[in-house]
Structure 1
Amino acid sequence: MSGTLSAEEQELEPALRARISALSEEGWEIWRRFDEEVRQENWHPFVPADYDHVLQTLLRLRAPGLRFLELGSATGVITIMADMLGYEAYGIELDGKLVDVARELARRFDSGARFAAGSFLPAGYRYRSRTGDDRIGTIGHGASAYPELRHPLEDFDLVYGYPWHGEEPMMLDLMRAYGGRGARLLLHGGKEGIRIFRDGRREL
């Protein structure tokens, strides 16, 4: 975590704050190794998010009993962080090897976060933009992961995504079509950091 703590971070128990800090540091170390061993040889879409920024948002939105889903959970750092903060946390990742990394990271940090390998698109979903363009912007294809999670998209209160260029309209459409009433979509990226949408409208 950053050197200057927010008011929300200061309210965390020191032991929990230390666990989250260690998780973030481990996440960046995993990324450095992945970049050297995998991305330098073959291009891969995994790029880590700003963990501190995500932490601030999760702290601000947390409440008892909320269920969290990360679309494209990669090494699982954000999903595990959500679990540490009290969310019932799940992640979906297309790359099965990264799912293995996430599960091992969760085990090492004694986290109950759960991960499924596959696509975050529900079976049967078809994207159609207002212009009729059906390109979803998502890199790679796979079977829908929701059966493995045993929760459809509508079961989640917070859904977090770090979209590639072209994916954002699809994620918004996906939540309109399959998201639960009142669920929030957190989209990370760009100059504005994390934007929050609820029932199809920009909330923050």
Structure 2
Amino acid sequence: MALLSIEIELSEDAFSQQVADWLVACRARIELYWDQFPQKPLPQYIECDFNLVASALTECVQRDLIDGRLFVEWGCGFGVVTGVAGILGLDAIGVEAEPFLCEEGRKLLKDNQVDAEIWQGNFLPRGAKRLAEDTDPLVSLTHDLEPAYDSYDMPLEDFAIVFAYPWPGEEHFLRLVFDRFARSGALLLMFRGPYHIELYRKR
């Protein structure tokens, strides 16, 4: 793979008050969802550390690491990280398969006047499944949806930065997808677990 690892130093609150207020609003909505979970089960919804990811995105913007403005989140859930990217001035798009999450994420963005979009569909580009081994039990391959990019005539190579929170065992596959379909110079930001952020640039 032609991916260059980039070191970043993070603290969990290295972001603006506007981002902090957004995260508070998102947590309130997500807590309401968990209260209603028996009525709307979403077994594939797992949260990342929003504060840590917000700090990482803020550093990417402040250090001018991003070669462009287009941001995409792979599996955006309620659109929390997508909203952070929008607040930071990026042209932010979140891709999500679950209709309920798309609807709730769009409401969150609108209610808080955050400029970002959520696309319903598959975050994997067309042809990406071929990069997975047949024996890989990858959750990302279970969504029988068309790639979201096709509906908007915006291929993955248009984007300057991708954010992903991979399921256990999927990080290598997502790196392969990024390496194959992203453009040269693009960034891949991955949340890997508590206090663990990885940042790569495609060479």
Q: Is the 8 A contact 1:127 1:135 kept in 2?
A: no
Which residues in structure 2 correspond to 1:110-121 (within 5 Å)? 110-121=113-124
Which residues in structure 2 correspond to 1:1-204 (within 5 Å)? 5-6=13-14, 9=15, 17-38=16-37, 42=41, 44-62=43-61, 63=64, 65-129=68-132, 133=135, 135-138=137-140, 139-191=142-194, 193-199=196-202
Tell me which amino acid in the other structure corresponds to 1:125: A
Q: Secondary structure at the match of 1:110?
A: coil
Alpha-carbon distance in structure 1 between the residues aligned to 2:170 and 2:178: 13
CA deviations on 1:56-107 (whole Å, 9 max, x unpaired) are 1111111484211100011011101111101111110000111111111111
Q: Secondary structure at the match of 1:126?
A: helix
Q: Is the 8 A contact 2:87 2:114 kept in 1?
A: yes
Q: Secondary structure at the match of 1:127?
A: helix
Q: Secondary structure at the match of 1:47?
A: coil
> What is the root-mean-square deviation of aligned Cα atoms in Å?
2.4
Q: Is the 8 A contact 1:182 1:198 kept in 2?
A: yes
Give the 3 Å change call, closer, same or farther, for CA 190–50 of structure 1 in structure 2: closer
Range moving further from structure 2, 136-145 or 153-162: 136-145
Residue matched to 1:14: none
**5+ residue gaps in structure 1?**
10-16
Q: Would you say how many aligned residue pairs link Structure 1 and Structure 2?
A: 188
TM superposition shift of 1:42? 3.6
Q: TM-score, normalised by structure 2?
A: 0.82
TM superposition shift of 1:4? 8.0
Q: Is the 8 A contact 1:72 1:92 kept in 2?
A: yes
Among the aligned pairs, what percent are the same residue?
Answer: 26
Q: Is the 8 A contact 2:12 2:55 kept in 1?
A: no
Alpha-carbon distance in structure 1 between the residues aligned to 2:169 and 2:21: 33
Q: Secondary structure at the match of 2:32?
A: helix
Greater RCO (Cα-Cα under 8 Å, separation 6 or more) = 2
Give the 3 Å change call, closer, same or farther, for CA 48–190 of structure 1 in structure 2: closer
**5+ residue gaps in structure 2?**
1-10
TM superposition shift of 1:24? 0.5
Q: Is the 8 A contact 1:128 1:134 kept in 2?
A: no
